[in-house]
Structure 1
Amino acid sequence: MKKNSLSTLIEGALMVGIATTLSFVKIFQAPYGGSVTLGSMVPILLYSMRNGASKGIVAGASYGLLQLIIEPYIVHPVQVILDYPLAFGLLGLAGLFNKKVWTGITVGILGRFFSHFLSGVIFFGSYAPEGMNAFVYSALYNGAYLLPELAISLLAVRFVFYRFIRKDEEQNYLS
């Protein structure tokens, strides 16, 4: 059954709202932005896998703009683009893997990591401890909160959302 555009838009708005709400439940807050939350990316990732990458990118970018309004950390206009609409928009890449949930979640979060990583190398390399390469610093800093977010997202989908998937379809979604 084909969904109409209004219901897809409403679903996207709800997922952005749920993601924003979950982003307030912080397990860890990094000093220069970034945090481990209670699975705040899961609604965007699932929306992307249900509705496709293009709609997921729009929903993710919208979520990123809300994050910019709620908790801005701004050092440069290009950094704002890399760390907010682009980084969160790349979560929509999960929509390329609608039948492969684990792969979709991983690719979406890796997309976000890549955007934050670039921002870190370009704009936050000076924060690196003396003698540490900006690439290593950015990878460690962003990995320190996105790796736990990946684990939380995978666990949340496995134990919370999988119960809604019929057993005969489960094998397709586990890879």
Structure 2
Amino acid sequence: MTRPASKTRVLVECALMIALGTILGFIPVFELPHGGSITLVSTLPIVLVSFRHGVKWGTLTAFIHSLIQLLLGVKNLAYCQTTGAVVGCILLDYVAAFTLLGLACVVAKPFKNRLLGVGAGTLAVSLVRYLCSFLSGYIVWKDYGYAFEWMTQFGWGQSISSLGENALCWLYSAVYNATYMLPEAVLTVLAAVILCRLAPRLFQPQA
């Protein structure tokens, strides 16, 4: 049976995971022109806290991490045209998208196979993060002309020209965010599963 970790030790570990996640976020594999990039599994340290210390510490760590990401990505708010868009971007793209990473352990709990649970939990919170950015993208990019111009770069102009403004904005947000968030989700799940396979004690609950 694992000996419960002291509060000080957990605080230090959470701080280290936030620092590690932030550093990994500065190592982009691929960057998009209007915000967003595939990073070197920068969310994995935050997800790891959830698996090790549960929902309370996981969401608290993820929330603090979200505030740091907001400060680092504040320039992206320049794309917002209204106050509502700014608020929506902050709440969805940063606070919700990162804080919900702390729920990975909840998704993993029903799985008897720890490896499968880690994979499912990591995938679930990664997809929730994508959903948050997808919703935020619609709020921020409700500009038909820009969305249409971006989509035509892929040769989809005629096929989507009949879509209404709202539908086109939803499609634009889905495609734009998918180009970097879904590949990162796959990389993060693979990294989590491989790490859990090689060092299972890292994912062992400490409470």
TM-score range with shorter-chain normalisation?
0.7 to 0.9
Identity between Structure 1 and Structure 2 (%): 36
Over residues 74-120 of structure 1, what are the superposed CA-to-partner deviations in whole Å (9 max), with x where a residue is unaligned? 12133112111211111112121254101110111112111111111
SS of the residue aligned with 1:33?
Answer: coil
Residue 149 of structure 1 aligns with which residue? 184
Q: Is it true that 1:49 corresponds to 2:33 in the alignment?
A: no
User: Superposed, which structure 2 residues align to 1:1-175 within 5 Å?
Assistant: 1-72=3-74, 73-74=76-77, 75=80, 76-96=86-106, 97-98=108-109, 99=114, 100-126=117-143, 127-129=146-148, 131=161, 133-165=168-200
**In the aligned structure 1, how far is the partner of 2:197 from the partner of 2:59?**
23
User: How much is the aligned-residue C-alpha RMSD, in angstroms?
Assistant: 1.9
User: Which residue identity does 2:100 align to in structure 1?
Assistant: L
Please state how far the C-alpha of 1:161 moved relative to its aligned partner: 4.4
CA distance in 2, matches of 1:39, 1:70: 17
Secondary structure at 2:170 match in 1: helix
66-75 or 22-31: which moved more? 66-75
Cα deviation 1:37-62 (Å, max 9, x = unaligned): 11101101111111112322221121
SS of the residue 1:39 aligns to: coil
1:151: Cα distance to partner? 1.5
Task: Determine which structure has greater relative contact order: mean sequence separation of CA pairs < 8 Å that are 6+ residues apart, divided by chain length.
Answer: 2
Consecutive unaligned residues in structure 2, runs of 5 or more: 81-85, 150-160
TM-score, length of structure 2 as denominator length:
0.74
Contact 1:93 1:107 in 2 (8 A): no
Task: Out of 5-14 and 18-27, give the one that drifted further.
Answer: 5-14
Q: How many residues in Structure 1 have an aligned counterpart in Structure 2?
A: 167
| Partner residue, 2:156 | none
- Quick check: 111-120 or 15-24, which moved more? 111-120
Unaligned runs of 5+ in 1: 170-175
Task: Work out the CA distance in 1 between the residues paired with 2:123 and 2:52.
Answer: 16
User: Does the 8 Å contact 1:39/1:156 carry over to 2?
Assistant: yes
Residue 172 of structure 1 corresponds to none
Deviation, structure 1 residue 153: 0.8
Equivalent-residue separation in structure 2 for 1:124 and 1:13 (angstroms): 34
Match of 2:152 in 1: none
Deviation at 1:157, TM superposition (A): 2.0
CA gap 1:151/1:6 in 2 versus in 1, 3 angstroms = same
State TM-score, norm by structure 1: 0.86
> What's the secondary structure of 1:128's corresponding residue?
helix
Q: After TM superposition, where is structure 1 displaced by more than 6 Å over at least 4 residues in a row?
A: none
SS of aligned partner of 1:56 = helix
| Alpha-carbon contact 1:125-1:138 (below 8 Å) kept | no
